[in-house]
Amino acid sequence: MRSRSLALAIALGALAAPSFVPSPAARAQDRSGTADEAEVAFQLGNAAYQAGDFRAALAHYFASNRLAPNRQVLFNLARCYEQLGQPIEAYRYYQEHAGAAGGDDASAEKSRAAMARLGDKVALLDVVTAPRGATVYLNRKELGAYGVTPRLIAVSPGAYDVLVERAGYQPATRHVDARLGATATVEIPLVQLTGTLVVTGSPAGAEVTVDDGETAHRGQLPSATLALPAGDHTLRVTAAGHVTQEMPVTVRPDGTTRLDVQLAMETGAVVVHADEAGALVRIDGEPRGFTPVVLDAVPVGEHLLEVELEGYRAFSQRVTVTADASAEVEARLAISDEIAAASRTAEAQGDAPASVSVVSGLERRAFGYTTIADALRGVRGVYLNDDLTYQSAGFRGVSTFGDYGNRVLVQLDGHALNDDWIGSSYIGFDGAIGLHMVERVEVVRGPGSTLHGTGAMLGVVNLVTPSEVRDLRGFAGASMVDPRSLRAYASVEVPFGDGDGAWVYGGGLYTQPGTYTSAARAGDPGEPTAVASGVGETSAVGLMAKLRAGAWTLAGSYNGRDRQIPTGAFETLFGDPRTATVDRRGFVELRFEPRLGDDLELLARASVDHYAYHGTYAYDEEDGGLLDERYTGWWTGLEARVIGRPASGLRLTAGGEWKWHLDNHERGEDGTGEAYLDEEHPYHSFSLYVNGDWRVADLLTVTAGARFDGWLFSDLPTGEGGAESRFFSALNPRLALIFRPEAGHVLKVIGGRAYRAPSVYELTYNDGGFTQTPAPELDPESAWSAEVEYDVALADGLGLVAGASATRIAGLVLLEGGDEDVDVLHFENRADAVWSLAAEVELRRELRQGTMFSLSYTLADAREGDALSGARIPSSPTHLAAAKLIVPLLGREMSLATRLTVDAGRLARDGEKLGAGVLWDLGLWGLVAGGRVEYSVSVRNLLDWDYRYPVGDDVLDRTVPAPGVSVVADLTARF
């Protein structure tokens, strides 16, 4: 039998021998090395096998398989073990050979036949796990693994501990008894190990998936918590517009694994060109640069691009950015010609039913305007008065001595700043400490009482401040306003989002005392030098603030000024610094402006206002000593206004206003403390108004409206020493026709009525009859006005406007008396009407590409009595001319500005014609430090022209001098 077995083995070995083929890995090696050595070992194994030395054959076959693995060697190893009487080892290698063969060839069939033949000589363990793939050990791990499940293992009969391990599962052990010739099935369910994976990061909404991404293994950022099998996994995080991240992660068993993922955005570029350099570019509300600019790293997707530049309408466009590409935007910026003062709602200047001008913020910066009066000088049809105590403005040749500008209404964002004692308009540092937060100054010529009520007889000046806050920023600066005046200021803006936010601006000014030379006192033995020294000292403070939240706006302003009167006004002691005035003016206003639909708007506001005056007047002791006069006024107001658009092209405005002047106490005392004036006259005022704007066609817009005002004064003095209440009323209509005969041409024909109620001061002020008596019988002033204006848009941004107007003022209130016939002063309505005839022309190029110029001329003739032959009104110039020019020097980094104004034909109070006034200014403006530092330097009255303002009888001199050549400098740091 042995010889026959040996012969069979030799035959089988011979069958296997020619089949030696090195594995691909072995073939890849150098044939002169490992593969050759494996071949030699294989041949030696065959020789040993044929010689019956099966152990030597095993050694050689193992060496060959180690050097170059070969599945046929596994078969030979199994035959050797079988010849040696080791069925367990033989079974294992037959099993490996059949498995390596893939079970699909004759060789594998022979191994399976051998395994069947050996079945009764071994015990078999059939180890199965769920899930499959567990490594199998018997008794001890250090003895080595027996493969992975499912696994059929040949063993000797006996008891065994079957150990299985699989990554991510708890190890398991089963005890089994193995019997010869039998198969013991060992089924072991595996318990999976789990852990927690917490993925945080951005962007919110990004999809988090693990491995196959089944529902249980999904989540979303900013935080996804997933229960996962312990072990290695593949994490994938995706989001639209972001770069996908895929990474390996190992989850610890029974623990928490944390991972932070920040997806980078897919980005592209946006190239922005604009017809104006230096415009701010925003992407989704965030500032990104200044035109022209290439914006890199813009996230993929649709964005809102905005281009903003002071003085221009904001440009906005939706732009789609694609990955690794550039989107180009061409922004054309239109000059902002918006004005609100003409109709109390924002509209284009060409649509405004009035003759209007706008001083832009860009012009203000280029010229370095310091006050409202400074900004008004050179505006068509406007001129200035100054008695060295208060400045005021006249329109189209109409102003009177001592009116303190009470026929011109000055507003801050539509809130009247005139006081409630005289109705004075404050346009110097008593009105605003600075214009740095003023976006534009709106100037409306002609009657405005239809919408604004009393005081808007000759014109309206409206200061417009920012209504939105977009960025957290601020600035601080200092100025030399003239050689004796220094100013400091600061501002901060805090955004809340969506344009809501708050800003505050404040500052202070100090002017050193100087000298004043009185020509009228020259040669007076009592004033041999006619020079007052150490007079004119001034200090001022100012504050403006605004807070907006949705439809609500809270705004306020406060200005205070203390000024010594240098002129010896009101026959006070010349050169006495105790003669001085103190003015305090402030308000707080709460507005609610919801949009009730596309065609309906509402404005409701409530306000509290305050004005205080304190004047001290130095006289000789026998004339009363140091007189002390004080006035305190408090008033509150309510207004509601509705704007509706019931049909295409039709806008209707209706509203009402009520004010209660609850406190207006005036008191005057002489040097002994004895009161010569102690009056208080609370009063109410109310109004109802309606206005309609109907765009009949592109050719014609008709505006018509009217306002009724009523005033009820309490306890006005009577001639019999008593007191009575008095009611005033006024109805003021307005009609405007706006024709557009062709593109770029606008013809306005405007007519209307305005009024001014007499002030508390005019009605009640007196000093006990010593120099002045009250005038409770005064009636309101009224003015009818008609005008025509033609505006033509020319080539290259030029515009030409020409107009003519006629105004008739009835009942003009003037201070009378003080002469030989009437020694005691009092206010009265003039019997004769005052006429103002004016013609205006202006050629203008708005500021574009850093260049702006304006040439204007006004011919005004103001007379009392007859419009053509009556007596001319003193202080009113006949000729007003102005030229303004701004040119860039270094792009947006530096510009040169010059202004020339001429007025001529003024009369002094005695009727003498004064010489022409020629004022020439030259200024330099610029930015340094990347735009964070702004500077301006201006030389005012470059010609040092001896220009003089005519003044009334309250000053001994007929005229007072305007400042000579001086330097104004301003430095602002932005942060």
Residue-wise pLDDT tens digits, 908-939 = 999 999 999 999 999 999 999 988 999 999 99
In a domain, 349, yes or no: yes
CB 278 within 8 A of CB 891: yes
pLDDT of residue 5: 40
325 and 383 in a single domain? The answer is: no
Q: Write the pLDDT tens digit of every residue in 782-805.
A: 999 999 999 999 988 899 999 999
Q: How confident is the model at residue 8 (pLDDT cuts 50, 70, 90)?
A: very low
pLDDT tens digits, 704-725? 999 999 999 988 887 667 788 8
The pLDDT value recorded for residue 218 is 87
Secondary structure letter of residue 111 according to DSSP: H
Domain boundary among 288, 308, 331: 331
Summarised one tens digit per residue, pLDDT across range 662-678 is: 999 999 999 999 999 99
Q: Is the pLDDT at 818 greater than 70, yes or no?
A: no
Rounded to 10 degrees, what is the CA torsion of 414, 419, 422, 425?
-50
Higher pLDDT, 332 or 557: 557
- Whether residue 177 lies inside any domain: the answer is no
Name beta bridge partners: 8.
Answer: none
What letter would DSSP give residue 622?
G
Kindly state whether residue 157 falls inside one of the protein's structural domains.
no
Q: Half-sphere exposure of residue 678, counting CA atoms within 13 Å on the CB side?
A: 6
Average pLDDT over residues 408-423: 96
Of 163-172, 391-400, 807-816, 817-826, the one with minimum mean pLDDT is 817-826
Instruction: Say if residue 197's pLDDT is above 70.
Output: yes
Report the chain's mean pLDDT, rounded to a whole number.
Answer: 90
Whether 462 and 566 map to the same domain: the answer is yes
Query: What is the model's pLDDT at position 102?
Result: 59
- The number of folded domains in the chain is 4
Compute the average pLDDT of residues 20-38: 59
CATH number at residue 316: 2.60.40.1120
Whether 204 and 311 map to the same domain: the answer is: no
Task: Report the alpha-carbon angle 408-759-653, nearest 5.
Answer: 55
Residue 139 forms part of a structural domain: no
Helix, strand or coil for residue 92? helix
Could you please report the per-residue DSSP string of 128-140? EEESS--EEEES-
- Determine the structural domain holding residue 306 and report its residue range: 267-331
Q: Tell me the CA distances in angstroms from 715 to 678, 769, 776, 969, one per residue in order.
A: 13, 18, 10, 51
Tell me which of 143 and 819 has the higher pLDDT.
143
Domain shared by 277 and 257, yes or no = no
What pLDDT, on a 0 to 100 scale, did the predictor assign at position 951?
95
State both tokens at 212. 């196959």
What pLDDT is stored for residue 194 in this prediction?
Answer: 87
Residue 178 belongs to some domain of the structure: no
Contacts of 99 (CB under 8 A, 6+ apart): none
The reported pLDDT for the residue numbered 2 is: 38
Same domain assignment for residues 398 and 317: no
Q: What is the DSSP secondary-structure string of 658-714?
A: EEEEEEEEEEEE-TTS-EEEEEE--EEEEEEEEEEEEEEETTEEEEEEEEEEEEEEE
Average pLDDT over residues 847-875: 93
Burial class (CB in 10 A: 0-12, 13-18, 19+), 194: middle
Asked which of 234, 262, 290 is the last residue of a domain, the reply is 262
Alpha carbon distance 892, 278 (integer Å): 6
User: How many Å separate Cα 484 from the centre of its chain?
Assistant: 37
> What does DSSP assign to residue 169?
B
pLDDT digits (tens, 9 = 90+) for 747-763: 999 999 999 999 999 99
Cα distances (angstroms) measured from residue 488 to each of 164, 364, 969: 85, 18, 12
In-domain check, residue 128: no
Q: At what angle do helices 2-16 and 71-83 cross, to 10 degrees?
A: 170
Same domain, residue pair 226 and 366:
no
Residue 347: predicted pLDDT: 84
Residue 443, pLDDT above cutoff 60: yes
What share of the chain in percent tops pLDDT 90? 71
Give the neighbor-by-neighbor strand order of the sheet with 151-155: 151-155, 123-130, 183-189
Q: Which pLDDT value is given to residue 342? A: 77
- pLDDT at position 12 is 43
Q: Sheet containing 172-178: give its strands across.
A: 145-148, 135-138, 158-165, 172-178
Query: Which run of H or E residues covers position 726?
Result: strand 723-739
- Our CA angle for 325, 328, 333, nearest 5°, is 155
Q: 120, 143, 161 — which closes off a domain? A: 120
Six-digit token pair at 622? Answer: 């026998």
Q: Are residues 361 and 464 in the same domain?
A: yes
pLDDT in tens, 255-281: 899 999 999 888 899 999 998 888 899
Distance CA 375, CA 372 (A): 5
Q: Which of 229, 238, 248 is nearest to 209 (CA)?
A: 238
Residue 49 pLDDT: 93
Instruction: Read off the pLDDT of residues 610-657 as tens digits, 9 standing for 90 and up.
Output: 999 999 999 999 988 999 999 999 999 999 999 999 999 999 999 999
pLDDT tens for each residue of 77-112 = 999 998 999 998 899 888 888 887 555 677 888 888
Question: If we measure between CA atoms, which residue out of 118, 74, 120 comes closest to residue 96?
Answer: 74
Local confidence band at 28 (pLDDT 50, 70, 90 cut-offs): very low
Quick check: helix, strand or coil at residue 840? Answer: strand
Which phi-psi region, left, alpha or beta, contains residue 55 (left: φ > 0; alpha: ψ -120 to 50)?
Answer: alpha
280 with 225, same domain: the answer is no
Query: Taking each helix axis from N to C terminus, what angle separates 34-50 and 54-67, rounded to the nearest 10 degrees?
Result: 160
**How far is residue 394's CA from residue 377's CA, in Å, rounded to a whole number?**
11
Q: Are residues 99 and 218 in the same domain?
A: no
Predicted confidence (pLDDT) at residue 23 exceeds the cutoff of 70: no
Same domain, 209 and 283: no
pLDDT level of residue 11 (50, 70, 90 thresholds): very low
Stretch 739-744: mean pLDDT: 94
Please identify which residue in the block is written with the tokens 């924002």: 346
Asked if 850 and 900 sit in the same domain, the reply is yes
Summarize the confidence of residues 10-26 as an average pLDDT: 44
Q: Is the pLDDT of residue 463 over 90?
A: yes
Give yes or no: residues 632 and 656 share one domain: yes
> Rounded to whole angstroms, what are the CA distances from 492 to 489, 529, 542, 563?
11, 49, 15, 29
pLDDT at residue 704, rounded to an integer: 96
911 SS3 class: coil
The domain that holds 386 is classified in CATH as: 2.40.170.20
State the pLDDT at residue 216.
67
Tens-place pLDDT, residues 879-888: 999 999 999 9
In a domain, 97, yes or no: yes
Q: What is the pLDDT of residue 204?
A: 92
CATH code (residue 205): 2.60.40.10
Work out the angle at residue 362's Cα, subtended by the Cα atoms of residues 359 and 368, and round it to the nearest 5 degrees: 85
Q: What is the CATH number of the domain that holds 2?
A: 1.25.40.10
Residue 392 lies in a domain: yes
pLDDT for 19 equals 43
The pLDDT score that the predictor gives to residue 101 is: 55
pTM: 0.77
pLDDT score of 554 more than 90: yes
Please write the tens of the pLDDT for every residue from 370-383.
999 999 999 999 99
